[in-house]
A = this chain, B = another copy of it.
Amino acid sequence: MAITVVGSVAFDSIETPAGRRERCLGGAATYFSLAASFFCDVRVIAVVGEDFGAAEEAVFKTHKIDTRGIERAAGKSFFWEGSYLDNLNEAKTHTTDLNVFAAFEPKIPEAYRDSEFLFLANIDPVLQRRVRDAMPGVKLVAGDTMNYWIKDHRPALLEVLKGLDILLINDTETRMLAGNSNLVQAARGVLALGPRALVVKHGEYGATLFHGAASVSELAGQQVSELASQRKGQGTNCFRSPALPLEVVVDPTGAGDSFAGGFFGYLASQPEQTPAAFRRAMFYGSVMGSFAVERFGTERLQKLTRQEIDDRFTQFRELTHLD
């Protein structure tokens, strides 16, 4: 199974209480790809500048990530500079230089067209929609967005939501998108906009999967494609994955994208996307997010092994297991 992901590949300069790093390899598509690469084949669509060299290319290649969709353009790559000095849960942005990303026109390599899974990372919803429409044969589509698109590009975003199976956003974005401060009511509001399932990421407190079927146990054996039809009139239900309380958080950048990569990568690795697979996927998402924040940028994801991932999965299971 293969995932095609469209999103940013960037350089980040990051300052946290643990120190500072200049021009780390970053971007949502990078974190997502690395995290998902431990579970399935990953193919990236992005644009980079002339500052993206052999060393950066090697990070993808080492993880067998297909980079044929990474376009090289004249100029510099997307650059972001931010800090988390006062609050590890919220980045303070100092610089955003879109550079070559400003004119990004996603091009889908022919070799990507048989992908069964598509992830639309946080970019302009107009581009998300274009890529989604260009890949009508995919089995499952997930996506992310952010407050900027929710506030100022709502009509375009609503079009994207209609074509999504799974939306992954945080608490604040969920409330903002639905215009409702109660998380459960807001989740129901978001589900009514199109997505069959909503994953709300709570940062250090884990994440919650909301869907429309009558109860989680009643979903056993059903495919995600059946969830939407069950939703009508049956309320909203949920599943929560914890986050491991972490003693050391070096750099929160990319935690949400790494969650998405672990979540969607695990789902794509399964023969069927059953509710049980969704539950395990939620745990793998939490696991990948917990690794990402242990080092600056993608350092930890680059060095990770599948054995470490499965060991931590076992730890997470034990963290909330009753009997």
- Choose one: B242, B247, B279; the contact of A242 (CB below 8 Å): B242
* Contact status A238-B323, CB under 8 Å: no
Which of chain B's residues have a CB closer than 8 A to the CB of A320?
239-242, 320
Residues of chain B with a CB closer than 8 A to A280's CB: 322
A202 CB within 8 Å of chain B: yes
Number of copies: 2
Q: Which residues of B are found within 8 Å of A217, using beta-carbon distances?
A: 318
Q: Nearest 8 CB-CB pairs, A to B?
A: A205-B205, A184-B247, A320-B320, A240-B242, A184-B245, A240-B319, A240-B320, A279-B322
What sequence of 0s and 1s flags, for each residue 252-281 of chain A, a beta carbon within 8 Å of any chain B beta carbon? 000000000000000000000000100110
B-chain residues with CB within 8 Å of residue A276 when the two chains form the complex: 322-323
A-B pairs with beta carbons under 8 Å apart, 10 shown = A183-B245, A187-B245, A216-B318, A217-B318, A238-B319, A240-B319, A240-B320, A242-B242, A242-B320, A276-B322
Task: Give complex CA distance A185, B249 in Å.
Answer: 11
A78 within 8 A of B: no
A93 at the interface (CB under 8 A from B): no
Q: Is A96 an interface residue (CB 8 A)?
A: no
Bound-complex Cα distance A214 to B210 (A): 34
Q: B184 near A246 (CB under 8 angstroms)?
A: yes
Verify if A4 is at the interface (C-beta below 8 Å from B): no
CA distance in complex: A276, B106 (Å): 53
The answer to whether the Cβ of A182 comes within 8 Å of any Cβ in the partner chain is: yes
Known contacts A182-B249, A202-B205, A245-B238: A322-B318 contact under CB 8 Å: no
New A-B pairs, 9, CB < 8 Å, besides A182-B247, A283-B322: A182-B246, A185-B247, A187-B245, A205-B206, A208-B245, A217-B318, A240-B242, A276-B323, A321-B321
Q: How far is the CA of A239 from the CA of B184 in the complex (A)?
A: 25
Please tell me if A317 contacts chain B, counting CB pairs below 8 Å: yes
What are the residues of chain B within 8 A of A322 when measuring CB–CB?
276, 279-280, 283, 317, 321
CB distance from A292 to the nearest CB of B (A): 17
List A residues 205-258 near B (Cβ within 8 Å). 205-206, 208, 210, 215-217, 238-242, 245-249
Query: A157 CB to closest chain B CB, in angstroms?
Result: 24
Q: Closest residue to A314 on the B side, CB-wise? A: B217
Residue ID in chain B nearest A241 by CB atoms: B320
- What is the CA–CA distance of A240 and B319 in the complex, to the nearest angstrom? 6
Complex CA distance for A182 and B204, rounded to whole angstroms: 11
Interchain CB contact under 8 A, A319 and B239: yes
A210, A215, A276, A321, most chain B CB atoms within 10 A? A321
- Min CB–CB distance A202 → chain B (angstroms): 6
Residues of chain A from 31 to 73 with CB closer than 8 A to chain B in the complex = none
CA distance A139 to B85 in the complex (A): 45
Which B residues touch A182, using CB under 8 A? 246-249
In the assembled complex, the Cα of A241 lies from the Cα of B322 at a distance in Å of 9
Q: How far is the CA of A187 from the CA of B244 in the complex (A)?
A: 14
How far does the alpha carbon of A238 sit from the alpha carbon of B320 in the complex, in Å?
A: 9
A217 to B239, CA, bound (A): 24
